[in-house]
């Protein structure tokens, strides 16, 4: 397997290739050979391992025993070249050997790091070891109580204890319903329920035990609307007052709003939620009679009826949330 490091060197070229010598050639140091045997006797070769016999430095000389200095110099140079090649080859082999050791160390280190990151091998459990069972979670058999219902707090007088005022029920100086702004006029609150009614509505409120009436007037684009909220001792009483309602809530003038819906035709409506019944009377501020085609008057009546319903429901929701918070474990 290769790790991208240096490769092992190729085998040296064999002796006999042009321009190359084998690693095993003997080095010539310029020493003369020993004198040979007498003529006619053959001396066994002194070289070993099949290398060619060394050159005779005296051969080709002057014939007077003077060495052939040129041959000696060539032999010495050839020996130095062989030594350099051996040193270079040895260095390459040593370098590659060190590289292989380093590569092995890197692979081993990486393997150890991988095991450490993975948490190492999972410990084996002895055959005699016994694991203690994990206890199962326990749950209470008693179901938690359901969250309080906001309607309970606008139906039962014993729970409906939050302060109730005209400014609290009709806050601010204006309201906006579905992008339509209305300016608030006068407000009022009274326990004499029949005194703020028209027609037979007063008698109906008294018959069903009306406790108080809160009123507010709003105007928009020449249309004026008075909404009255009557409080009863029970949901049944409020529902009866809505069903029996005749006449209507008296228009409330003041705070920039002139008298309206007197001696003319206006739109009257009644509804209820919980122990509250609410009534609206809408008409033109200039006294014009309302017809079934006067969409702005019907739209204003719808907006104010929705607004009052939301306010009463919000009253129940806030009391329910307060009760839940007070009973929560600490």
pLDDT score of 88: 57
Q: Which of 287, 174, 186, 270 is nearest to 229 (CA)?
A: 270
Tokens 């009866």, residue located: 240
Q: Which of 322, 321, 315 is nearest to 170 (CA)?
A: 315
CB atoms near residue 278 (< 10 Å): 25
What is the value of pTM for the model shown? 0.57
pLDDT score of 147: 78
Q: Give the span between the Cα atoms of 328 and 56, in whole angstroms.
A: 117
Q: Is 314 helix (H, G, I), strand (E, B) or coil?
A: helix
Residues 301 and 284 sit within 8 Å (Cβ to Cβ):
no
Q: What angle do CA 306, 311, 313 make, to 5 degrees?
A: 95
Q: Which of 62, 91, 78, 94 is nearest to 28 (CA)?
A: 78
Q: What is the 3-state secondary structure (H, E, C) of 114-142?
A: HHHHCCCCCCCCCCCCCCCCCCCCCCCCC
* CA contacts within 13 A on the Cβ side of 180: 17
Q: Is 84 helix (H, G, I), strand (E, B) or coil?
A: helix
- The contacts found for 236-241 with CB under 8 angstroms, 24 or more apart, are 237/208, 237/209, 237/275, 238/208, 238/272, 238/273, 238/274, 238/275, 238/276, 238/277, 239/272, 239/277, 240/208, 241/204, 241/205, 241/207, 241/208, 241/210, 241/270, 241/272, 241/277
What is the chain's pLDDT, residue by residue, as a tens digit (330 residues)?
433 444 433 444 444 444 444 334 444 444 444 444 444 444 544 444 444 555 544 444 444 555 555 665 566 666 666 666 655 555 555 555 545 444 444 444 444 444 444 444 444 444 444 555 666 666 656 666 677 899 999 999 999 999 999 999 999 999 999 999 999 999 999 999 999 999 999 999 999 999 999 999 999 999 999 999 999 999 999 999 999 999 999 999 999 899 999 899 999 999 999 999 999 999 999 999 999 999 999 999 999 999 999 999 999 999 999 988 887 666
Q: What is the 3-state secondary structure (H, E, C) of 145-214?
A: CCCCCHHHHCCCCCCCCCCCCHHHHCCCCEEEECCEEEEEEEEEEECCHHHHEECCHHHHHHHCCCCEEE
Residue 99 burial (10 A CB sphere; 0-12, 13-18, 19+): middle
Maximum CA pair distance of the chain? 169
CA 316 centroid distance within chain: 36
Q: Give the span between the Cα atoms of 94 and 117, in whole angstroms.
A: 35
Q: Give the span between the Cα atoms of 219 and 303, in whole angstroms.
A: 12
- Cα–Cα distances (Å) from 42 to 45, 51, 60, in that order, read 9, 19, 21
DSSP tally for the chain: helices H, then strands E: 6, 8
């Amino acid at each position: 397997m290769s790790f991208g490091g240096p490769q092992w060197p190729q085998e040296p070229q064999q002796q006999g290739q042009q321009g190359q010598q084998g690693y095993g050639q003997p080095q010539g140091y310029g020493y003369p050979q020993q004198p040979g045997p007498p003529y006619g006797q053959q001396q066994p070769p002194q070289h070993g391992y099949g290398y060619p016999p060394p050159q005779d430095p005296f051969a080709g000389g002057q014939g007077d025993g003077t060495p052939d200095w040129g041959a000696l110099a060539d032999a010495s140079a050839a020996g130095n070249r062989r030594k350099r090649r051996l040193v270079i080859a040895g260095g390459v082999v040593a370098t590659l050997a060190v590289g292989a050791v380093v590569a092995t160390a890197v692979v081993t280190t990486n393997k150890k790091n991988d095991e450490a990151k993975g948490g190492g091998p999972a410990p084996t459990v002895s055959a005699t070891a016994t694991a203690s069972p994990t206890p199962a979670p326990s749950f209470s058999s008693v179901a938690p109580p359901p969250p309080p219902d906001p309607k309970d707090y606008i139906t039962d007088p014993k729970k409906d204890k939050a302060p109730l005022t005209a400014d609290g029920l009709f806050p601010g100086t204006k309201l906006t319903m579905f992008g339509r702004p209305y300016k608030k006029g006068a407000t009022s609150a009274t326990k004499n329920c029949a005194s703020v009614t028209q027609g037979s509505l007063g008698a109906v409120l008294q018959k069903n035990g009306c406790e108080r009436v809160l009123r507010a007037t709003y105007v928009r684009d020449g249309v004026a609307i008075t909404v009255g909220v009557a409080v009863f001792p029970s949901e049944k009483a409020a529902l009866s007052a809505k069903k029996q309602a005749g006449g209507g809530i008296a228009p409330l003038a003041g705070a920039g709003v002139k008298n309206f819906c007197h001696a003319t035709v206006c739109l009257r409506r009644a509804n209820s939620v919980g122990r509250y019944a609410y009534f609206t009377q809408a008409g033109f501020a200039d006294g014009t009679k309302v017809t079934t085609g006067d969409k702005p008057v019907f739209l204003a009546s719808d907006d104010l009826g929705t607004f009052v319903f939301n306010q009463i429901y919000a009253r129940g929701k806030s009391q329910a949330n307060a009760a839940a918070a007070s009973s929560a474990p600490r």
